[in-house]
Structure 1
Amino acid sequence: MARMTTQYDNTDAFRGASFTSATFATAKFRDCDMRQVKIVDSLLVDVNVSGEIRNFLVNDVDVTPFVEAELDRRHPERVQLRAMRSADDFRAMWDTLERLWTETIARAEKLPEAARHERVDGEWSFVETLRHLVFATDAWASRTILDEPTPFHRLGLTHTGYPAADAAALGLDLGARPSYAAVMEARADRMALVRGIVGSLTDTGLARTCTRAPAPGYPEEPGSVGGCLRVVMDEECEHRRYVVRDLAVLEARRPG
């Protein structure tokens, strides 16, 4: 059979499909719904899987607990995040995140400016990751907790599945190519904003209901201040994990 290279975006054409004696060598799946996928008698060598993983069986063994335990060992801040209950816990967690990001920023700044804009294996660059965290703070802190209807910085970067037209309506410039310094200015402002929120946080305040959705198109479901802060901090944890992974690659590309 002739080899065919095709790209499928935003499609449900393969829902319930069955593939037999097919090759997916070098294929890439990004932001795909692969729940209840079953792979039988197949070659899975040099495979890289990331995302929300639960009940993931490999040769009838659920490897999820092993993966989670190893991630917790490498990134103990994940354990601290899950354990948050009181306002003091949230403040301590933000202290940890500020410290970790200070270390990570210092590491990134040892690289040339161009490297901070460089993507590793198609993932967001360091600068793009910071832009996304600006958006996450605007959405889950400024808009939900502080009830600001349009808090979005134009350099914010939405998650990849968010419609480009909706992002533009929020005033976001997804095609912008800002300098590292410009993004860091926005990032520092958002970090200070969260510091202000957690600094005055009380246990009672954690339970206060936030009625505004993070952004148009998100489910209109009321959440608590604590729940919204947990999303912000989870974003900070997980995206820093990706950044640390990619920084190691960028550093290896530049000997000495």
Structure 2
Amino acid sequence: MRRIHDEDLTGAEFRECDLSRARMVGVVMQDAEIDGLVTNLVVNGVEVMSYVEAELDRRHPVRLLIRSDQPDDLREAWRQLRDDWATTTERVRSMPENSEHHGVDGEWSMLETLRHLVFVHDSWFRRCVLGLSEPFTAMGLGPSFVMDQEGGLDPSAQPGLDEVLAVRVRQASEVEAWLAEVTPDQLAETAPVPHDDRWPPYAKGRTVRQCLGIVLNEDWAHHRFCKRDLDKLSHQGSSPVDVRTVREVR
């Protein structure tokens, strides 16, 4: 077990780290921020995630629809997600030029976020829900190790906002057409994941509903991140400090 003892970690950033079963004893944690897949988090003897999840549901009722097993609820969830992205797209167009290319605090820019959702659609909807084995969309943006190993993805791609949005519209149409016809029984079936070793490798054995849920959750979560960062960009003005331009994917 790795032990960090009597260390000053003020300002430290833990990114893409697995902190499962970590214990923090006698720590000082002020103005800290935790964002990720967090379950069974106990703070001073109190399991707090039930409170966090309830508050997120209160702030974002679409989460309740996303977790539903009823096709009508899922259709409404998708409609709300698309409306939210349309509003955010109009917002970024009204901001200083190239705002969609700026990221904050090391996070993806809006453009990179949209490219990641292109990749999520190809991974979890086309491959896992529809069972297709077609190549990934070249502009899609996934984790660095996936970019290195998956044929078809172009790590050097630098598409513009309109180009990415056109792909997103096409993908949204695929989801809408499928949701219009899907039944509860079909949602409960085992996902028809192609029998190959391509991404995502841990999808086999999941239900269609579980794979669709990943698509919807990713769409909601990344929209939240995108809005958060656009708020920061707006506050920083047209010449932001501590803001990076389009990240090079390695």
The answer to whether the superposition gives a TM-score over 0.5 is yes
TM-score normalised according to structure 1 size = 0.85
* CA displacement, residues 136-160 of structure 1 (integer Å, 9 cap, x when unaligned): 1111111122222124110001135
* Alpha-carbon distance in 1 for matches of 2:233, 2:48: 29
Does structure 1 residue 247 correspond to structure 2 residue 230? yes
Contact 1:166 1:216 in 2 (8 A): no
2:202 paired residue number:
219
Choose which of 198, 202, 205 in structure 1 pairs with 2:186: 205
* Alpha-carbon distance in 2 for matches of 1:110, 1:227: 36
SS of the residue corresponding to residue 84 of structure 2 reads helix
* CA displacement, residues 38-75 of structure 1 (integer Å, 9 cap, x when unaligned): 11112212211111112212222222122222222222
Kindly provide the amino acid, as one letter, of the partner of residue 147 in structure 1.
G
Contact 1:142 1:151 in 2 (8 A): no
Change (3 A) 1:68 1:216: closer
Q: 1:70-219 to 2 correspondence within 5 Å?
A: 70-82=55-67, 84-160=68-144, 162-167=145-150, 169=151, 171-212=152-193, 215-216=198-199, 218-219=201-202
Runs of 4+ in 1 over 4 A off after TM superposition: none
Choose which of 31, 36, 47 in structure 2 pairs with 1:51: 36
* Alpha-carbon distance in 2 for matches of 1:89, 1:149: 28
* Alpha-carbon distance in 2 for matches of 1:215, 1:55: 31
* Alpha-carbon distance in 1 for matches of 2:141, 2:84: 22
TM-score normalised according to structure 2 size = 0.87
Alpha-carbon shift at residue 112 of structure 1 (Å): 2.9
2:4 paired residue number:
19
Kindly provide the amino acid, as one letter, of the partner of residue 229 in structure 2.
D
Does structure 1 residue 238 correspond to structure 2 residue 221? yes
Relative CO higher for 1 or 2, CA cutoff 8 Å, sep ≥ 6?
A: 2
Q: Which segment drifts farther, 64-73 or 192-201?
A: 64-73
Tell me how many residue pairs correspond in the alignment. 236
Kindly provide the amino acid, as one letter, of the partner of residue 165 in structure 2.
M
Contact 2:65 2:74 in 1 (8 A): no
Contact 1:143 1:151 in 2 (8 A): no
Change (3 A) 1:54 1:209: closer
Unaligned runs of 5+ in 2: 239-250
Contact 1:211 1:223 in 2 (8 A): no
Kindly provide the amino acid, as one letter, of the partner of residue 187 in structure 1.
R
* Alpha-carbon distance in 2 for matches of 1:145, 1:239: 20
* Alpha-carbon distance in 2 for matches of 1:87, 1:105: 27
CA RMSD of aligned residues (A): 1.9
SS of the residue corresponding to residue 109 of structure 1 reads helix
Kindly provide the amino acid, as one letter, of the partner of residue 125 in structure 2.
A
* Alpha-carbon distance in 2 for matches of 1:34, 1:132: 24
Change (3 A) 1:66 1:181: same
* Alpha-carbon distance in 1 for matches of 2:200, 2:25: 37
Change (3 A) 1:217 1:95: closer
